[in-house]
Amino acid sequence: MKIMGWTGGLAAAGLLLAGCGGGGPGGGGGAISEDKVVLAVLNDQSGIYSDTSGRKTVEAVKMAVADFKAKYGDKAVTDKIEVISADHQNKPEIANSKAQELYDRQNADVLLDVPTSSAAFAVANIAKTKKKVFIDVGAASTELEGKQCNKYTFHYGYNSYMLAHGTGTEVTKDGGENWYIIYPDYAFGQDMQKTFTTAIKAAGGGVVESDPTAFPNDNFSTFLLKAPNLDPKPKVLGTMHAGGDLVNLVKQYNEYKLRDKGVDLAVGLLALSDIHSLGPNALAGTRYTDMWFWNMDDKSRAWADKFQAKTGQRPTANMAGNYSAALTYLEAVQRGGTDASDEVVKQLEGHEFEDMFARNATIRAQDHLLLHDAYLSQVKPAGEVKEPWDYVKVLKTIPAPEAFQPQPDAACKL
């Protein structure tokens, strides 16, 4: 019996050592589950947000893995890092099932991106239940760091507060005191309508009226015809749409010549891919707030050059944000020596850093919101565009403490 007990002890020790097999130099003796780290990108790969993020974001995450391996070499916590992806089709029920599949069947250690706020809420709930890390880059709703927050979810990149307190405030102060807001009728649009209305009023303006629109949508004529006939007449049409919806709306705005009728356009969320699709003249002069632009400085451009060489196009801010999020996650695994979720969360909370995407960045421990500099930007007319994809000029840097909510939401209970 003593021999059997000793044999059992050896077997148990062997299992323990096998579980720690991914530690290695720099690993701190920690364990890597399934002997590899799996990063999963869950986003829209076929619909209205596929150009904003989509499959190109998967390539950005693969770039992060390559750069991580190049940095640490044989000192990396593991050399086995896999990138997988799935299409959530902007539907929360599909996001829910895909998240479960990625965590459970494909052993994902972290889920990344997840545009569409309603889909992000579904994934955040799964992350909480499964106790697995979720870093959202693509969704805007402030509820991700409010009542939808949880220990395993991080909001990385931008949110509706950042967009509203940049664009809404600046446009209102510059004479756009009366707004007509239209927004997609789901969590993202509803949150955008709320935060923009708050920012506009705080800047001394007002909202004449707000209307929800179907999501997705390709016909906005009812709202565009309504805008110049409201009383009082709005000086600004504020659209809270994004991706393919925004492209359709801007085309129709220009067809109806609303700018000639005294109703300027303000865009809540604008991506480089939207400008590329429409052409810069369709949006020339439009001001908006962004989290990053590929040509804003040498550091950004150097990374964008590598991305273009790999994909054939310049990166959107969302693609760059996912690269940064993937690398930040891997660095947390490296520091902690493990992909165990609780330890990774510990390493991420309060982390201060600066990279090609996030400047003056801190992951706020109380609500898991990434604070970083944001940028008030403007679309150039075609005559000022010096090279392909160079459609934007940065008007103003909004420092991190001003760009995001100064205090965590009391509704957030981690």
Q: Phi/psi at 129 (nearest 5 deg)?
A: -65, -45
Which residues does 292 contact at the CB level (< 8 Å), separation at least 6? 300, 317, 320, 321, 357, 358, 375
Structural domains in the chain, sorted by start? 29-158+296-372 (3.40.50.2300), 161-290+375-403 (3.40.50.2300)
Distance of CA 3 to the CA centre of its chain: 57
State residue 302's pLDDT score.
98
3-state helix, strand, coil in the chain (%, to 5): 45, 20, 40
State residue 31's pLDDT score.
87
State residue 30's pLDDT score.
54
Residue type, 361: A
State residue 13's pLDDT score.
37
Nearest to 308 by CA among 297, 320, 296: 320
Write out residues in the chain with pLDDT < 70, as ranges. 1-30
Nearest to 328 by CA among 292, 290, 297, 370: 370
